[in-house]
Amino acid sequence: MATIRDVEKVIARLPEVTEGLRFGHQTWNVGKKAFAWERPFSKADLKRFGDETPPDGDILAVTTADVGEKEALLSAHPGPLFTIPHFDNYPAVLVHLRSTPVKLLREVVEDGWLAVAPRKLAEQYLQR
């Protein structure tokens, strides 16, 4: 199953990625757009879980092309990929790294990168 180190390895293979902090958490950008970021639960998030136990361990948020792609990913990979009310109508999925195979992590992160990368850069990457 995946770790933050696996995230870093996957992202290292993508061109023109910069790393920074967003709200105090590690964030990866292409151009000036974030496509993946560490997303621990806030107190409000935890409260919304109510009696349900939230996923433990590291959580990664990854941009999707649109809400339709988000819904398709959530349907295809329940468990490793999920969402919370804070992300309602927002094109991003949450990745529970501890339950995510590295292959799925690679696919989701690469698709997130493609969703926000400048068109010409994305085309060059896909032609490799």
Residue identified by tokens 């292409």 is: 30
Tell me what pLDDT residue 128 has: 84
For residue 81, count CB atoms less than 10 angstroms from its CB and return exposed for 0-12, middle for 13-18, buried for 19 or more. buried
Q: What is the pLDDT of residues 36-47, one digit of tens each?
A: 999 999 999 999
Average pLDDT over residues 72-99: 97
CA distance linking residue 97 with residue 101, whole number of Å: 8
pLDDT of residue 23: 87
The CA distances from residue 69 to 76, 90, 108, in Å, are 10, 11, 11
Give the mean model confidence (pLDDT) for residues 116-127. Answer: 96
| Per-residue pLDDT tens over the stretch 18-62 | 999 988 999 999 999 999 999 999 999 999 998 899 999 999 999
Domains of the chain, first to last: 4-42+56-121 (3.90.1150.30)
Q: How much is the average pLDDT of 98-118? A: 98
pLDDT (mean) for 119-123: 96
Secondary structure (DSSP) of 70-127: HHHHHHHSBTTEE--GGGTTSSEEEEEGGG--HHHHHHHHHHHHHHHS-HHHHHHHHT
Does residue 111 surpass a pLDDT of 90?
A: yes
Measured CA distances, 83 to 45, 99, 117 (Å): 11, 15, 23
